[in-house]
Amino acid sequence: MDHRLAAADAALQAGRGTEAIALLIAVLEADADQDVSVYRVLLQQLYQADRLEDGARWGEIAARRHPRDVDVLNLLAVTLRRLRRLPQALETLSQAAKLAPNNPQVQSNRGNVLLELRQGARAEAVLARLVRAEPRNGEYPRQLGHAFRLQGKQPAAAFRFRQAVALDAANVGAWVDLSGLLVEDHDEAGAEAALDAALAANPGHPRLLEARAVALRRAGDFARCEAFLTELLARTPGAGWLHFQLGGVLGENDGERERANLHLRRAVELEPGNLNFTVALIESLERTRSGDEGGHLDEAYELARGVRARTPELVNPGHLKVIFETLVRVCAFDEVAALPDFKARGRAWAESGRHAPLLRQLAHVQTLEDRHELLEQHRIWGRDVAARAARAPIRKPARRTAGARIRLGFLSSDLRDHPVGYFALPLFEHADAERFELFCYSFFKGGYVDPTQALIAQACAAYRVAPSANARDAAQMIADDQLDMLIELGGSTDMNKVEVMAWRPAPIQASWLGYPHSVGLAAIDYLICDPLTAPTRRDLLIETPLTMPKSWIALGRMAFSEDHAITPGLPQDRTGAVTFGTANHPHKYNRATIALWAQVMRAAPGSRFMFIRPEAAATNFRQNLLAEFATHSIEAERIVFHPVRGAHMAVYNEVDISLDTAPLTGGTTTTESLWMGVPVLSLVGEALFERLSYSILANSGLADLAVETPADYVRIAIDLVADRGRRLRLRQTLRQQMRAGPLGRSEQFATDFYDLMAKTVRPNG
């Protein structure tokens, strides 16, 4: 026997795993023709040491040397599973199952891999056999419950989870699964009862206490959740999970963001190795708009880089979302490129029920195939939401008698001091009270009424605010109002509940204004657009276009007023250089856009580019953009950063020409720039999100500034630089020009809108 094998055995007995691994590898490298037991021990040790890449490499060597050893194949498969090489893991386990069809460990692992591949029916077949073979094993019904859950068989899943806890009341995971399933199916009382039973069987178990907090939070009962966690924290202040959960519930209200950060930082201090805690802190810091916003963003970015170093694969969809959004916000283009690609990340988000990050995908489409893939990602999310809604239907009241006024509902938490509120305001200031009753539904958590909301509410038959309502209860509330048509205005933006539409609380449903893409729900019948925003291809929209005669938006007086003064003359005359600029969010930037802006600057010697963004206060945002412009031979001194949040309108007085982003164009920013007399150059594409600025420009009398090729974009920019007279006239007259056009004729816009809705609801008059 090789003396190194004896030494390895002694090292294992003494708990020196690293030494044992080195000795075993040395033995196998010297002579690969070793007994299979040597390979088994090495694979087991590599797995326990979390050396997964080494484990996969040696596992493949072992499988070639001993292709009929079930233990080797099983160890290789579980290593591949941890590396998220799921198809390869499944193939390896299938090979092992042929050799040992009744091996419960192999079949259980095979079932788990099928679950992670979301192949519920195949997993059910495997796991049902295990349940029959070992009816007293409580873990197998739990796994089978997950297989049913994947297939939308919720009652069967609940039965199996209950079976698991009946067999083993100490199976905490099964209790958590049961409560989570009940919350998902909007049975909050059932979830609470299950957790009461779980805690009776497992008193004080942290995971069950945490499950109770999660259930309260998912049910929207934030006050009870905070009180519950605060009471527990007073008794066990060193529990990291309590700080983590308390930070999460406080973060539901942006006004509590600083307190949330304190708790999340404490959670990370207590458990620095817990990736969930670190990612939650990153997300909270990235969302913090108070205090030192640039410092918060820099801190989030540095933490994100640390996570990337620890978990380069980044397979958890929630972690991927947070890291992606943080990297995008500081324009870390190289690091974004190293993440899963457009299709992989989008499908990961959609399949895990995450709609919000799909908005960040819009700026990354490059081809027609990408545009269709993006639609499919939205459909994947939509099908899952629709299936969940079908499992917990709402009560539909009887239809109202014909001849009554049309009941028109607006679903949005942004009908307040927010761009959505500003653009929607004309509909309420010029409400058609003879034909319509208006209803608004908000889930805003701020707890106050601002001037815009107050104006809107005055025109409504009801303005319902339900910050704690879950999606099903919100759908029931809306259905009880017996609407004729419901319009959602926000997609999945913060505090909106677009999933409510899946219950179809109104017979006719549409999207408008807040989300520049199809939401993905088949229950949304229409998307309100105009002749210019409508996609050039019908297959780039899921809904049926509902086309306004002129413009899809009008200017609300709360945002577009004379309070925003225009400084006479041109900025160029005051600075001695032409200044290009943008106030668009960094999630609209990409390398192609930066390259196009740099091309414009090279064609305009001495010109500058100004970023009017709160991110400009972050060191990493500035450094990353300066580095990107440098690759296009643009010197750092030509880039100007103006960190500002909320008070950006006056900064347009320092910009000569705004350069739009592509493919996702500006909307609010384009309109604001024009209102301040600053022309905007835009690149027009095929999909709706590529045509927003085109419509705004054309309806402001500037259609020539929306072009279809990068070459024309550069050419028009240089023409504008040369035409000082036109730019000066626009400074002096563009605001009045907008007022006189479709954007400014808000009363006519409202008339057109209500005429279109009336025709949609009652096509026969």
pLDDT for position 392: 86
Residues with Cβ within 8 Å of residue 13, at least 6 apart in sequence: none
Q: What are phi and psi of 582, to 5 degrees?
A: -150, 145
Which pair of structure tokens corresponds to residue 66? Answer: 């001993």
- What is the DSSP code string of 472-512? HHHHHHHHHTT-SEEEE-STT-TT--GGGGGG--SSEEEE-
Which pair of structure tokens corresponds to residue 736? Answer: 């009045």
- Is the confidence at residue 314, as pLDDT, over 80? no
CA neighbours within 13 Å on the CB side: how many for 343? 6
Q: What is the DSSP code (8-state) at residue 290? A: S
Give tens-digit pLDDT for 467-511.
888 899 999 999 999 999 999 998 777 778 999 999 999 999 999
Query: Containing H/E element for 89?
Result: helix 86-99
Which pair of structure tokens corresponds to residue 486? Answer: 């419901």
pLDDT for position 728: 97
The average pLDDT across 330-348 equals: 96
The average pLDDT across 107-128 equals: 94
Q: Distance between CA 373 and CA 369 in Å, rounded?
A: 6
pLDDT for position 446: 77
Do residues 397 and 191 lie in contact, with contact meaning Cβ atoms separated by under 8 Å? no
- Hey, what amino acid is at 415? L
pLDDT for position 183: 87
Q: Distance between CA 741 and CA 89 in Å, rounded?
A: 62
CA angle 586/591/596 to nearest 5° reads 100
pLDDT for position 754: 98
In order of start, what are the domains of the chain with their CATH numbers?
Answer: 406-554 (3.40.50.11380), 571-744 (3.40.50.2000)
Which pair of structure tokens corresponds to residue 426? Answer: 């004309």
- Is the confidence at residue 262, as pLDDT, over 70? yes
Q: Distance between CA 247 and CA 285 in Å, rounded?
A: 11
CA angle 315/320/326 to nearest 5° reads 155
pLDDT for position 250: 94
Q: Among candidates 648, 662, 718, which has minimal Cα distance to 693?
A: 662
Neighbours of 566 (CB within 10 A): 18
Phi/psi zone of residue 186: left (φ > 0), alpha (ψ -120 to 50 degrees), beta?
Answer: left
- Is the confidence at residue 1, as pLDDT, over 60? no
Q: Distance between CA 503 and CA 99 in Å, rounded?
A: 48
Neighbours of 367 (CB within 10 A): 9
Q: Taking the CA atoms of 33, 36, 38 and 44 in sequence, report the sign of the dihedral they define.
A: positive
Q: What is the DSSP code (8-state) at residue 686? A: S
- The 3-state DSSP class for residue 461 equals coil
State the pTM of this model.
0.89
The average pLDDT across 377-397 equals: 93
Q: Percentage of the chain with pLDDT > 70?
A: 99
Residue 91 Cα to chain centre, angstroms: 33
Give tens-digit pLDDT for 392-410.
899 998 877 766 899 999 9
Query: Containing H/E element for 439?
Result: strand 436-442
What are the CA-CA distances from residue 440 to residues 463, 488, 509, 527, 672 (Å)? 5, 10, 14, 18, 26
Give tens-digit pLDDT for 119-143.
999 999 999 999 999 999 999 999 9
Mean pLDDT lowest among 79-88, 541-550, 567-576: 79-88
The average pLDDT across 529-556 equals: 97
The verdict on whether omega for the bond into residue 663 sits within 30 degrees of 0, i.e. cis, is yes
pLDDT for position 402: 64
pLDDT for position 614: 97
Helices (H), 588-741: 591-603, 619-630, 668-675, 692-698, 710-722, 724-740
CA neighbours within 13 Å on the CB side: how many for 600? 30
**Cβ neighbourhood burial of 231 (10 Å; 0-12, 13-18, 19+):** exposed
The average pLDDT across 649-675 equals: 97
Give tens-digit pLDDT for 736-754.
999 999 999 999 999 999 9
Q: Give the residue, 13 or 405, on which the prediction is more confident.
A: 405
pLDDT for position 500: 96
- Is the confidence at residue 646, as pLDDT, over 90? no
Q: Distance between CA 412 and CA 421 in Å, rounded?
A: 9
Which pair of structure tokens corresponds to residue 460? Answer: 């409504």
Which pair of structure tokens corresponds to residue 10? Answer: 């002694």
Give tens-digit pLDDT for 693-747.
999 999 999 999 999 999 999 999 999 999 999 999 999 999 999 999 999 999 9
Mean pLDDT lowest among 153-167, 387-401, 421-435, 680-694: 387-401
- The 3-state DSSP class for residue 96 equals helix
Do residues 248 and 239 lie in contact, with contact meaning Cβ atoms separated by under 8 Å? no
The average pLDDT across 246-274 equals: 94
Do residues 664 and 690 lie in contact, with contact meaning Cβ atoms separated by under 8 Å? yes
pLDDT for position 765: 73
What are 612's strand-pairing partners?
642
List strands edge to edge, sheet with 526-529.
Answer: 462-465, 436-442, 406-411, 485-488, 508-511, 526-529, 544-547
Strands 579-582 and 608-612: parallel
Do residues 558 and 649 lie in contact, with contact meaning Cβ atoms separated by under 8 Å? no
**Cβ neighbourhood burial of 189 (10 Å; 0-12, 13-18, 19+):** exposed
Q: Distance between CA 322 and CA 560 in Å, rounded?
A: 34
pLDDT for position 144: 96
- Is the confidence at residue 313, as pLDDT, over 80? no
* Mean of per-residue pLDDT scores for the chain: 94
Reduce the secondary structure of 501-569 to three states and give it as a string. HHHCCCCEEEECCCCCCCCCCCCCCEEEECCCCCCCCHHHCCCEEEECCCCCCCCCCCCCCCCCCCCCC
